[in-house]
Amino acid sequence: MKYDFPTQGEMLAAMAITAKWLPELVIRFEKGIADLGLEIESKQIRRYDGNEVGPVCTIKSKHPGWTLELRLGNTLAEFLTIDRDARPVRLDPRLLDDGFASKKLDDLVNGRLDIARVLATSRSPKEIRRKMVKIGKNMARLRIWEMLDDKKPRKKRRKRDR
């Protein structure tokens, strides 16, 4: 997400809120992944189109050994803003209330954990697709770009796609 808040005050507030709540986002997410019996294979910051960067977490299921990449940048964008797609982007002023911020963070983390739960409880790509359609009805948006079968060789991504 590109943070183009309309005022310097909103930008500074967003930075302070991020500094306070980003560690909590990571802690809650990692605990949820562990509670599902999944393994975090890697955590990294990745650059996307233009100057946008965001945290990416690669999760591996024990059976049948599938991996899932969750891009948490959108989670952070949804947390910080009233509507991440609106222009100009506006900071959600309700985040100044710790109770509201904690509840909003819980809701967002639980939504991402629903995606991981599908990975943990599914036995086939068909079952994954069926469950994703079901949970997708409860989310504003849910995109799955590709499903890779670990038994098939992966195509090497072009440098610009990384």
* Average pLDDT score over the chain: 82
Residue 107 binned pLDDT confidence (cut-offs 50, 70, 90): very high
Q: Inform me whether the pLDDT recorded for 158 exceeds 70.
A: no
Least confident of 50-54, 71-75, 76-80, 145-149: 145-149
Amino acid 104 reads: K
**CA 66 remoteness from chain centre:** 18
60 burial type by CB count under 10 A (0-12 exposed, 13-18 middle, 19+ buried)? middle
